[in-house]
Chain A
């Protein structure tokens, strides 16, 4: 298990760096992160299942200006890990899947607090950089940036450790406490969650002409899905 956590920390650090500090190549998106965490903890498919749903849910919150969106990367670290671990213990049934998706909101909000904290510390780094430049030390700009990057990376690695640890704990300790019947009743909420994701993507893309297009496509694809099912 130790090497899995080490790998999770390293991959988490890279993904968290991509989130704000470096590149923004979308390596931090839940689809990528949850799939990776699923692979690290033994079941890539289970991680991807969580990633597919989480990917869209937080699209509606844009990282504009000083606003910080919920930490969907952290939610994916937690969800991907917990899904992979659950699939090898109690099985990833609909109730467990629903519980993991809903519990990920706690993680996303905790990660947001950590992100805010890092940016506050960066204020101090930026001030120190400006003071050093005032004293004639141009090199301090590079040191300041390196300090900021290191802070983002270390925080990302810590969050990856904490959230993957939480995922393991939830799948090993919390979910097995509830029997299949309880988890089954929890699964009643599952249909709402992917639809929440679809609504988030729809809200992002909402213009005067997209509403009709969205609902017509939804009806057509739904019809196709139903038709494909009926012969079976």
Chain B
């Protein structure tokens, strides 16, 4: 259903015909005034067409030249962006994640084995035994031995000598 404005416009532009035209004209309260307004609208249209049509574009060739230059410039500017966008590889996603995960697990396993090995290593005995025969003169005491027993925690040191004929006065066990 057309509004009055739509019908009026169509009537002014001679777009109504047949039954639609007769019905519209019959609905006009003042037919003479309507036709006068239609004539005015025609005059307005002619005035606009005459005065506004074909406003010249000066420097037409320069217009096209400027446009070509802009298109070329923008195309060149867009190219590096496209190049940067397309070659993005998916290699970093799954394969590298898998290999990185495997490497991490391997490092973790090596560290774990090393730490466990360290923990299992036998503890140093609290008893330290040194055999100090260096200071025993074999010609004087051929079967002589000197041993030292030391308990660090208890701060106890025992000097054990065997087979010594004499103990030199200046002897010092180290």
* A and B together in one complex: no
